[in-house]
Chain A
Amino acid sequence: MTDSSSWDWSIGKRQIADITQWKETFGYVEEPYVSPDGEKIAAIIKTEDMEFSVCENGNAWENAFDKVWFLRYSPDNRLTGIVSDTAEWTLAVEGEAWENKYDFAWNTIFGRDGKSMLLMTQADGEYSVLINDVPWEETFPYMTNLAGNADATRAAAVAQTIRFSEGDIFAFQKGCYTVAVDGKVWDTNFVNVYEPVFSADSAHVAAQVRTSLYDYTIVVDGEPWPAVWPWVWKAAFSPADGSVTAPVKTPEGWTLARDGHVFWGQRFAQLWHHVYSPNGMSIAAIVAPKYGHWTVAIDGNAWKKTFNDLVTDLVLSPSGRRAACAGKENDRYTIAVDGTPWPFHCDMAWEPVFSPDEQHVAAKIEKDGQFTVAVDGKPMKAQFKNLWNPVFSPDGEKIMIRAIEGSGDKETYVRQVLPLTEILG
């Protein structure tokens, strides 16, 4: 997590940028991105020479490129974009391109404090990973499902280790894929490998594998669990004891398995996206207690309230005592907290955010083309043209709104800090 205590938490509203002005200046302005602290806003632009560059708070980068894309702020408020010059691709941080360049580069991943970042690369048909401008020594015929550890200093990805020609179905079925961790592959190959994930201490990696066309299991540091199932989903490490859990499909339905053994008593029509509380004491998951009815289960116990379309963006509060998610029923979204839906529906709801003291939940919502923030089920009166996720102050008493305001063609970016009481009344 980034330390937000050094950010400006004084109550008030500041206009940071006039986007309308940018459009007049540059003509071509893509959708903007905002820094976590709300102090900066940037967008990809085209220069007079029809080259791509970036405008941040009204100032264009000095460098221009053949192409810039995937403009994203790191958690420590540095602006990055993937850039190419003469068909050579790399990451640019604050306008400066990295030294190592490739035939292609993509999928930037940031560490939680933003200090480290990594991305996938391809040169001459060989795939590899670049971490802070330092490449892995190893390359592979193909890599996918890139993942970083929590601070993005280590990387793991699904790697193809054996080449086979298209159409050679039997070679494929013998197993040609495994996981590469920091460039080193596991000893065993599998038919398929999905979604490697690091443990909280970064020391271990687990992934889903298909050992034949019909059998799935979880592999931890190259060692498969002794049991197989016809279907599994993404594994997760317990932050408390390092054990590994994953949803598995048993003949009676979906449940959670730990270290190779079923350990939830409940069975579901579906179970996925299980998450641990930071202390590891509690597990929440998105479940369907019965076909077509979605909700959240905490330690196996499903909420009574279900949604018929979907449940997504499940988050646990810092202590794990509370849970919130976005749910959709009859084509309308809302937020549900601890099993109780907010008393309104909207056209879209974003991932809910807990206050550090976990007393409050806030979320960005959209209704009739207007955006606003709702806290504990109560929408703000003000509406915006666009909005980023709200951020609570470290003491949980204030909330930062990062929004695009304006009417007609006018668009300005404002950063506003307001006391929670102003929304809650």
Chain B
Amino acid sequence: MHTIYNFVSGPLAWLAFIIFIGGSIYKIVTMAKLAKKKDPSVYEYWDTGFALRSIAVWSIPFATVNWRKNPVMTLVTFAFHISLIVVPLFLCAHALLWKEVFDINWWYIPNGLADIMTLIVIGSCIFFAVRRSIRHDVKYLTSKSDYLILLMVAAPFVTGFWAYHQFPAYRLMFILHMLSGEFVLAAIPFTRLSHMLYAVFTRGYIGSEFGAVRHARDW
């Protein structure tokens, strides 16, 4: 168990970070190069001011018509994404890791809050899965991989919650927590989770086109 722990928390963690960072850079650079070659106009019409305007508006809950039209989805989406980013970065235990490995003093959130946010992530994943299976239009778009991704995202939170609260077999869960977390991290650039990398650009581009060329709002 101990060797597995060492492996998972040591080399494998490094590997996951390397794949995530390296993969993300690779993906963004190759897309940027491809765009330069095949869609040069994307650069010509990019307007940072209007791109930021669009990103800003869409980053505020209920600021857009579509956010307002789907209040539950909006609440869940924002709560989910905020929790998804905040918990792994600012969990007390993770902050200790930052300190231990990189000697960085990092902010952290109270454990009670982290617990709530973890449950939000898990609950949101369940919500998304149910939504996928009952709404006709979403069901029509859904493939197995969509459920798989939800499972992938939920896994580190479920296992982390489990391990933290020392439910039965929590040592195993702890290793599974690290494993699944590393897996998700490494998968970001290469699965649909890459929307995390691209969203800024797709949103920014349509914001540029709507703002600078078409003089219209895109929300």
Contacts and interface: CB of A to CB of B under 8 A. Distances in A.
Contacts of A291: 40-41, 44
A321 interface: no
**In terms of DSSP, what is the predominant structure of the interface of chain B?**
helix
Interface string A271-307: 0000000000000000000111000000000000000
Nearest to B39: A291
Contacts of A290: 40
Contacts of A269: 40
Contacts of B41: 291-292
A146 B212 CA distance: 41
Interface string B30-66: 0000000000110010000000000000000000000
Contacts of A292: 41, 44
B212 to A, nearest CB: 13
A22 to B, nearest CB: 45
A289 to B, nearest CB: 12
Nearest to B45: A292
Interface string A100-128: 00000000000000000000000000000
Contacts of B44: 291-292
A292 B44 CA distance: 8
Contacts of B40: 269, 290-291
Nearest to B44: A292
Nearest to B41: A291
A291 B40 CA distance: 7
A354 B36 CA distance: 40
Interface in A322-378: none
B39 to A, nearest CB: 10
A145 B109 CA distance: 75
Nearest to B40: A291
A291 B41 CA distance: 7
A385 B44 CA distance: 39
A62 B40 CA distance: 61
A292 B43 CA distance: 11
Interface string A213-256: 00000000000000000000000000000000000000000000
A269, A290, A292: most-surrounded residue (chain B CB, <10 A): A292
B35 to A, nearest CB: 12
Nearest to A293: B44
Interface in B152-186: none
A292 B46 CA distance: 13
A293 to B, nearest CB: 9
A134 to B, nearest CB: 51
A269 B43 CA distance: 15
Interface in B82-107: none
A414 to B, nearest CB: 45
A291 B44 CA distance: 8
A34 B179 CA distance: 86
Nearest to A292: B44
A288 to B, nearest CB: 11
A349 B31 CA distance: 42
B34 to A, nearest CB: 15
Nearest to A290: B40
A81 B41 CA distance: 46
A292 B41 CA distance: 9
A67 B138 CA distance: 66
Interface in B119-169: none
Nearest to A308: B44
A130 B174 CA distance: 93
A200 B134 CA distance: 74
A226 B69 CA distance: 59
A404 to B, nearest CB: 39
A109 B45 CA distance: 42
B214 to A, nearest CB: 17
A269 B40 CA distance: 10
* 4 A-B pairs with the lowest CB-CB distances in the bound complex, closest first: A291-B40, A292-B44, A291-B41, A291-B44
7 contacts: A269-B40, A290-B40, A291-B40, A291-B41, A291-B44, A292-B41, A292-B44
